[in-house]
Amino acid sequence: MEETSMQSFETWNTWAQYIAFGLAGVSIFIFLGHLIKLTASSDSKNKYDYINRSEISVLMTCSVLLIVAGAFYSNSFIYELGILWLFVRIFVTISMGLIFGVIIQNLLKFYYPFYIEKRLKKLRYKPRVSPKTGKLMKLLSEEEEDVYLDEGMQAEENIFSIDYDVWVDEETGYTKIEKYAGHLHALQCPECNYQTFRVSREEILKAPSPASEGELMKHYECGYCGYKAKKTFKIAMLEAQKAGSTATA
């Protein structure tokens, strides 16, 4: 009976290590795939969109796999175990896994966005190269870019839902328009200083008309401490939109 028990432990230890190494390998494979995808893309906008859309979820997935792998590996050296110690071991393993999981989740949710924001800003404003001439293109200012945006695009910018960057090859006139979410990224909360201050809703206080500007109120809320604030912005007159001018904040 004791020999059978020892063999069972040996079988468990072997398979637990196999599972641990397998999960760690999958985690490394996913992370390397992420790096390869970033490296393989030469387009700054594609990198921007991919990092913004996927990087935190990829890192969280890799972290969870490593935590589970660590749990299996730390329990792969069992040679004698009673019922009481079995429950103790399970409880400790789950508790430690949850603690590490919460720590990593908080780091990715509240700290890592600072690092991502710097990278995204660098990618967004990295000079674009014209496919026509191979020379650097010019990023137009808010006033200059309206010539290249239709009324719908200008309206999106006026209510801050979408932001457009217009790059122009001054030699050939080749134009590249890139679309960004207007308030996709969280701001730094003035209360807790975490990068978790987001627009929760927008309210048009006064609709614009051909004779007067409109007024928009944006409501902000911190996802960490719950701090709330609001700020009003002006919306350009309808005539100004048709003429190609922008709203002023």
| pLDDT tens track for 100-137 | 999 999 999 888 988 898 899 899 999 999 999 999 99
- Strand 228-235 to strand 175-181: parallel, antiparallel, or no bridges (unpaired)? unpaired
| Rounded-to-integer distance, Cα 155 and Cα 216, Å | 13
**Do 48 and 25 reside in the same domain of the chain?**
yes
Answer with the one of 182, 197, 217 that is the final residue of a domain: 182
| Rounded-to-integer distance, Cα 215 and Cα 196, Å | 25
100-126 burial string, b = 16+ CB within 10 Å, else e? beeebeeebbbebbeebbeebeebbee
What letter represents residue 240's amino acid? Answer: A
| Rounded-to-integer distance, Cα 65 and Cα 60, Å | 9
**End-to-end Cα separation, the chain, in angstroms:** 79
**Do 215 and 239 reside in the same domain of the chain?**
yes
**Do 189 and 178 reside in the same domain of the chain?**
no
| pLDDT at residue 243, rounded to an integer | 41
| pLDDT at residue 79, rounded to an integer | 77
3-state helix, strand, coil in the chain (%, to 5): 55, 20, 30
**Do 23 and 9 reside in the same domain of the chain?**
yes
**Do 22 and 73 reside in the same domain of the chain?**
yes
**Do 191 and 148 reside in the same domain of the chain?**
no
**Do 80 and 176 reside in the same domain of the chain?**
no
**Do 12 and 103 reside in the same domain of the chain?**
yes
| pLDDT at residue 239, rounded to an integer | 53
| Rounded-to-integer distance, Cα 127 and Cα 139, Å | 8
**Do 16 and 120 reside in the same domain of the chain?**
yes
**Do 120 and 6 reside in the same domain of the chain?**
yes
**Do 49 and 131 reside in the same domain of the chain?**
no
| Rounded-to-integer distance, Cα 246 and Cα 212, Å | 14
Helix (H) or strand (E) holding 162: strand 162-168
Number of domains in the chain: 3
Answer with the one of 182, 200, 224 that is the final residue of a domain: 182
Helix (H) or strand (E) holding 235: strand 228-235
Beta bridge partners, 32, equal none
Tokens coding 40: 């393989």
| pLDDT at residue 5, rounded to an integer | 53
**Do 43 and 115 reside in the same domain of the chain?**
yes
Domain that holds residue 27: 2-124
Q: Estimate to the nearest angstrom the gap between the alpha carbon of 199 and the chain centroid.
A: 16
- Residue 109 dihedral angles phi and psi, to the nearest 5°: -85, -35
What letter represents residue 63's amino acid? Answer: S
* Below-70 pLDDT ranges, the chain: 1-8, 81, 156, 158-161, 182-186, 194-195, 238-249
